[in-house]
Chain A
């Protein structure tokens, strides 16, 4: 089934540890995004990639990094996790960032930093 796969589904992490959230899509979409969702704040953009080989900063990029080595994969790395990064993380894709259209979302990765 075409779509976005995120891993892990859920993770508890000690503060200071490094963590990579994985995201893979099989729709051959050019644009990919990472959002975090916190109660009362809605979805906030962390980083995005308009096409393979390029990345950009969103609204809340501090403490996170991304890479886009190919079209399908867009991992999000927390270099040294802090409790404020406790959140639900969603990866999304769209056929083009410049053309309005729907975002396809993964099922999310729930991260707890203690």
Chain B
């Protein structure tokens, strides 16, 4: 069964304190892995797509990496405005290409 697990559930950082969020996945043929940001009371907003192991994508203070079993979202020198829930999702080659989401990691960055 296709599955996505994110850890930790919540992460509290001081401004400038770099860290990483983890997304472990089990899927029968990975078509793509996605990262989204979700602010309270809003819909998820797309950040990155990763297609194959070894691939990396960057956007401002965020960098996403991918291996055959997991993805990391590295946050370098975070700011309070980076506080949000970060969602990981995978799309498999089977099952009608539906996207499966993890439960998310809630990130709090304190000034």
Report A's interface with B, CB cutoff 8 A. Answer: 4, 33, 35, 40-45, 48, 50, 56, 58-59, 90, 92, 97-98, 100-108
Task: Give A104 to B49 CA distance when docked, in angstroms.
Answer: 13
- Say if the beta carbon of B25 comes within 8 Å of chain A: no
Task: Report yes or no: A100 in contact with B101, Cβ–Cβ below 8 A.
Answer: no
Choose among B41, B51, B87, B91 the residue that contacts A43 (Cβ–Cβ < 8 A).
B87
B27 CB to nearest A CB, Å: 12
B29 CB to nearest A CB, Å: 12
Report B's interface with A, CB cutoff 8 A. Answer: 4, 31-32, 34, 36, 41-46, 49, 51, 87, 89, 91, 96-104
- Residues on B with C-beta less than 8 A from A104 are 46
Task: Report yes or no: B42 in contact with A103, Cβ–Cβ below 8 A.
Answer: no
- Nearest B residue to A9 by beta-carbon distance? B41
Task: Report yes or no: A103 in contact with B103, Cβ–Cβ below 8 A.
Answer: no
